[in-house]
Structure 1
Amino acid sequence: MKTAIVIGATGLIGQHLLNQLLTDPTFSKVVAITRKPIQYNSKKIVNHVVDFNKLPSYSAQFNGNVLFSCLGTTKKQAGSIENQRIVDVGYQYQAAKMAAKNGVAHYVLVSSSGANKNANSAYFKMKGELENMVKPLSFQRISILQPSLLLGERNQFRLGEVLSSYLLPIICKLPFLKRYRPIEGAQVAKKMISLSKQQGEQCEIYSLDELFNT
């Protein structure tokens, strides 16, 4: 039986991930590390509420078999690209570092299609930089998922994503745009759990097409 650690548990993928982990017999304990308390009707969930600005103080909470990282924000929510970078790169890297130091074997990271440290887009650049930063950490195995636009119900309304969720599935029927097609948050969560139960290489990157095959 395994212990899962989840950061980003209140986001679109994170919520699906928690729900799926609850019914998965492979995991006997799920440690959800969040900024605000979450309510779940299960003794399987252990919720640690932390101050992400003081994340190193909570190193002891990052103990388990697998770290599932779905943490992320938007420029609008954060207020600026600089603040978004604190969450999407700073918090993410700090959490991964502590988990690796504590002997967590497997790290499963949700990145993004288009992630590239040399990208012109600040968002894709952040995602690419984080991927490069975590690869040298001492996990036995690292799995990086690169989804495109995520579909599903969110706690916060995002007009751009709502419009894209209607338009992109139609536009992406064109062969050269297929790699940008949207994917359900639940399907990404399912792939994360599936990977945690399989053997794999020391560092694996799963592009959008591979995420549709669970």
Structure 2
Amino acid sequence: MKIAILSGTSGLVGMQLLHQLMKSSYYDFILSVGRRKLALKHEKLVQIEGDLFSLSSWDWEEKVRAESFGGAYNGFIDAIKAKSAEIHAFSSLGTTIKVAGSKEKFYAIDHDLVIGFAAWAKKLGASRFLYVSAMGADATSSIFYNKVKGETEEDLKAFQFTFLGLFRPSLLLGNRSEFRFGEQVASIIMKPLVWLKLAKNIRPIYDYQVAKAMVKTALSTTSNPFEIITSGQMQDLSQ
């Protein structure tokens, strides 16, 4: 059985990821983990909700069984418990300091929740982990946002997944649920680079391109234990 586990589903990239995973014939089930369920139904989609900060103590089996009408997910549960499933985990968790309210709360979401999800996914048997980071991710950066993203990348390496994909998109384009003034201005200024197909690694990239690249990378065969995927590479992979 092939299973995809997804966190950050309600976000910009997360929604596109879910769409790509549902379209893929490779995955038998998609387990979405979040604070709330989406108003969405699909034969492959299993949604469980709760406080992500206490994810490690969730009774995930009980939560899934509560959604398993007529025992529809019994095989799914058995495959995870028997460690017989191939599991790929995808994280697009992230926020901004403005939305979070403080640097401490931002760190709790962009670092702690991601690492907590990775630990949980590893315990369930995930062999591959694919994470949406940022173009400037650097654990030694003097820029707080880039430093947090870089620290998260470094801490993810410690789990020693069979494959770790670190996706570093430039400015993301798409339909966000919240208004971000700075990103709106930057997208207007930089959008000509998209139209003219210039500066591939720094020009804005669409949410669906990131999602397509993540799924394609998850399904690729590689002997590398981890890989950094640049914004330009994502655009090539999404063709």
Instruction: Please give the TM-score of this superposition, normalised by the length of structure 1.
Output: 0.93
Q: Quick one: distance in 2 between partners of 1:121 and 1:22?
A: 36
Q: Quick one: distance in 1 between partners of 2:191 and 2:59?
A: 41
Instruction: Please give the TM-score of this superposition, normalised by the length of structure 2.
Output: 0.83
Please list every run of 5 or more consecutive structure 1 residues that lacks an aligned counterpart in the other structure.
none
Please list every run of 5 or more consecutive structure 2 residues that lacks an aligned counterpart in the other structure.
62-79, 81-85
**Please, which moves more after superposition, 122-131 or 166-175?**
166-175
Paired residue secondary structure (2:134): coil
Query: 1:53 aligned to 2:53?
Result: yes
Paired residue secondary structure (1:204): strand
Query: Between Structure 1 and Structure 2, how many residues are aligned?
Result: 213
Larger Rg: 2
Query: 1:181 aligned to 2:206?
Result: no
Aligned pairs for 1:111-122 within 5 A: 111-122=133-144
Paired residue secondary structure (1:108): strand
Quote the sequence identity (%): 33
Aligned pairs for 1:26-65 within 5 A: 26-58=26-58, 60=60, 65=87
Structure 1 contact 3–66 (Cα < 8 Å) conserved: yes
Q: Quick one: distance in 1 between partners of 2:197 and 2:210?
A: 23
Letter of the 2:217 counterpart: L
Q: Quick one: distance in 2 between partners of 1:22 and 1:39?
A: 15
Query: 1:102 aligned to 2:111?
Result: no
Deviations 1:97-150 (A, max 9, x none): 122233211000111101000111100000000000011213111111100110
Two-structure CA RMSD over aligned residues (Å): 2.0
Query: 1:76 aligned to 2:103?
Result: no
Pick closer, same or farther for the CA change 1:168–1:56 going to 2, 3 Å: same
Structure 1 segments (4+ residues) deviating >3 Å: 170-175
